[in-house]
Amino acid sequence: MGKKAICIGINDYPGTQNDLSGCVNDANDWAAALSARGFTVTRLIDAQATRNAMVSAMSSLISGAARGDTVAITYSGHGTWVPDRNGDESDGRDEGLCPWDIGSGQVLLDDDIAQIFARRAAGVRVLLISDSCHSGSVTRGADLDLAPGAPRARFLPPEAWMKPEDLPTARISRLPSLGGLSRSGGDLLLAGCTDSQFSWDTRFKERPNGAFTYYALKTLASLPASASYQDWFRAITPACLPTNQLPQNPQIFGTRTARNWKIFS
């Protein structure tokens, strides 16, 4: 059984004036955790993570996997949305990930990801971990690890990257939802927040990170080797997130069977 992963981290968003600070650290941290669990990892960092490069890397990863293999994709960067063009979204929006070249209109939509995932062979396990904005409230937990300073939302509104003539004219909520990504065709989606929240880019002990990534990896380190994805999710929330300064509720999507798989097996 083979195990391969792609870890994507984008801090630099040329032309948008919306750079982030913790996404590259996220990608490197996910890569280290996955490597320690036997994965062969490819990293796409900043300018390496163009839309074409992301599509090519994901496509190669999925199409090259055989029955019994596990593939993982982690993404840390901005999330966004565009008006739904094919009528498959109840909220009228296609959700998307923001590649490095989003400033030139190069968005990676949930429909695109679904097409890539559809190429997988039977018996291939696919895990997507997205520490980006899709978007709720409730405040619990403590902020003991959080460095001073305001967190920044990992959400890029359409007006930050789309041409004025392409902007939607209908009044649709600025926040994207998780709907499209949760239906993308992978077995499991772990996401940083609900469809009415932001995922936050912030600092912990003076080191930039995504809040979800930081707490996901912190809790993973304390779990037994036999722990399931559901065990992991329960360790993250509500014990770690949300907090008073980080009002985001992580999400897990997948079948009961997939949720009970051993982590990164």
Structure tokens at 147: 């460095």
- Say whether 78 is catalytic: yes
Strand pairing report for 108-109 and 93-97 = antiparallel
Is residue 6 within 8 A of residue 42, CB to CB? The reply is yes
Half-sphere exposure of 53 (CA within 13 A, CB side): 19
Average pLDDT over the chain, rounded to whole?
Answer: 85
154 in any annotated domain: yes
Looking at the predicted structure, is the pLDDT value of residue 140 above 80?
A: no
Domain of residue 249: give its range.
3-259
Written as one letter, the residue type at 212 is: F
214 in any annotated domain: yes
> Which residues, 6+ apart, have CB-to-CB distance to 222 below 8 Å?
235
8 in any annotated domain: yes
215 in any annotated domain: yes
What is the pLDDT confidence band of residue 176, given thresholds at 50, 70 and 90? very low
Question: Collapsing DSSP states into helix, strand and coil, what is residue 21?
Answer: coil
Higher pLDDT, 195 or 123: 123
pTM, full prediction: 0.87
Looking at the predicted structure, is the pLDDT value of residue 162 above 90?
A: no
**Distance (Å, rounded) from C-alpha 40 to C-alpha 14?**
30
Higher pLDDT, 151 or 246: 246
**Distance (Å, rounded) from C-alpha 110 to C-alpha 116?**
10
Looking at the predicted structure, is the pLDDT value of residue 137 above 50?
A: no
What is the pLDDT confidence band of residue 160, given thresholds at 50, 70 and 90? confident
Domain count of the chain?
A: 1
CATH code, 108: 3.40.50.1460
Mind listing the pLDDT tens digit for each residue in 177-212? 454 455 555 899 999 988 778 899 999 988 999 999
Which residue of the set 78, 134, 193, 240 is catalytic? 78
115 in any annotated domain: yes
Q: For residue 96, what pLDDT is reported?
A: 86
Strands (E), the chain: 3-9, 40-45, 70-76, 79-83, 93-97, 108-109, 125-131, 152-153, 188-191, 200-204, 207-210, 251-254
Looking up tokens 């989606």 gives 189
What is the pLDDT confidence band of residue 218, given thresholds at 50, 70 and 90? very high
265 in any annotated domain: no
Average pLDDT over residues 49-74: 97
**Distance (Å, rounded) from C-alpha 241 to C-alpha 73?**
22
Which residue of the set 23, 98, 133, 240 is catalytic? 133
Looking at the predicted structure, is the pLDDT value of residue 87 above 90?
A: no
163 in any annotated domain: yes
Is residue 35 within 8 A of residue 125, CB to CB? The reply is no
DSSP percent split of the chain into helix, strand, coil, nearest 5: 30, 25, 50
Looking up tokens 């901005």 gives 78
- Say whether 134 is catalytic: no
**For a pLDDT cut of 90, what percent of the chain falls above it?**
64
108 in any annotated domain: yes
